[in-house]
Every structure is written in structure tokens, then in C-alpha cells.
Structure 1
Amino acid sequence: MGSTRWRWLVWVGAGISVVGLALFLWGEGLDRANQWAGVLGLFVGLAGLLASVTGGVRGRGGGQSADGAAAGGSVRMVRGVKGDVVIGRGSAAPGPVPDAATTPVADAAGDGQSARGVRAGGDVELVDGVDGSVRFGEQQP
């Protein structure tokens, strides 16, 4: 299922849930709706606290994004390397930024690195979690 379709389904489900909850509370009357709102507010607050704590713990590694970048040369993103990184120099100057139709697609699967919609004249490379060395191009002396 595509990302756009999934997002659309989530919004439709949330909208139906809100309308259903509003109709339920309206049917309960003002006093009972106030009591229900207090109980529901407690659980929503706890869920928000839990989401912020788990998001803070998970998000410590940080994400990398080159979404929407436009470059005449290569786009390289490197993180989590426990060794040397050697990036060789290209022999030619960067060229013009290509059209969107000729762009290579690079997208990491939910690990915090992404290069969606990048327009690059060279390679698009995402590197993460390497225990050794990473080299691009020619090895430097």
C-alpha cells in the first residue's frame, strides 16, 4: 500500500472516529458527556506522554534527510561509522541539476535516512551502521 493511500486511510479513520465520539457524547447528555470527556482526556494524556517518551528515546540517533535536494554532483549521507571514511574527489566539476524524470531514487526503509525527491547529477548513496571503513571513489593516498 502506498504512503499516500495509507495517509488518506488514517485521516478518514480519524475523521469517522471523531464524528462517532461526538455523536456518542451528544447522545449521553451534558453531565454524562462531561464525565466521559474527563476519562477520555486522562487516557489521551497518558498516550501522549508515552508517545513523547518513546519518541525521545528512539529519536536519539537522529535522522538524516536530503529530501528535495538538488545537486549537480553526487549526494552522500554517512552516519554510524566506527572507522575511517574516505571520500575520493571527483575529477569533473559538478554539472547542471537534472530534471526530476532522470533522478535516481534512494530511500531507506524507515531507519531515519531518506533522500526522497532528490535531483542529483551523480550518485545518491545512503550509508549507515558500518563497523569498518567507507570509501567512495578513488582511495586517497
Structure 2
Amino acid sequence: MNQENVRTQPPSTDRVFTVLLSPTRRGARLARLLTVAHLGAWGLPSESAAHIVAELAANASVHGRVQGRDFQLTLAVSGRTLRIEVTDTRGDSAPPCPGAVKAPEDNYAENGRGLLIVEALADHWGITPGPVPRKTVWAEIDLVR
């Protein structure tokens, strides 16, 4: 899989959906449900995207949470690519770079595998810092295989 750390300019888009959500378990669940609903309305497959959004939104709710600040979910379709972006307000708390993600040492750990799932399902993914205090974790899925 090809992975990149930073993309400076997002591609032009055919369809875009953006929403602010509370950094809670409920907000993360709503992010996944909205993804399935919008991709279904657009006639696009949603299974892989739903898993990716669930993991990124959960990370934003747990690791990117700042009291009183929401996280943003963006779904953008451009040509044959679906781009998923989750932006939180903890730019100082960056996840490992693509390719550096490792499984937890404890095989029975109940967490620590989210970015491994993103890496497995996405064709590309990465982290875009800023503007301060934000960071965006994004993933792209090729819609035509």
C-alpha cells in the first residue's frame, strides 16, 4: 500500500460532506452512521469507509479531545477517490506516521489497533498538521479497483 505523510493540496471534489461532532463516543458513532448514510445516498460502497471513520473518530474522541472543541469529519469524492478527513484540536498529540504503526505488545489488549485497521483498509493515509492547534488525519480509498 502506498502511504504518504502530508499532502499539501487536496484534489478538486465532485461531492463533499462536512460536519462538526462532539468528541465523545456518541459523536464518533454518529460520524460512522453519517458516513454510511451519505455514501449510500451517493451510490458508493461504505463498508471500508465506515470502519476507517469509526477508528479515526474514536481516536479524535479519545486522543484529540479538548473540552469545548468539536472534531470535524469531511467526506470528499473526487473522480475515483474517496477522501476521509478527521480534524481534531490536539495538534500536539500526533499519531505515528504511516508505516510506523505497530500492534500493541499485549496480544490481548482491547485497544491500540485502530491505525492498523486504517492502514489495512485505506489505499493512502497520512497526517496533515495545522493550522495550530489542529491536525487532520486523512485516508483515501480508490473507488474503482
Quick check: which one's strand share is greater?
2
Quick check: which one's helix share is greater?
1
TM-score under structure 2 length normalisation? 0.21
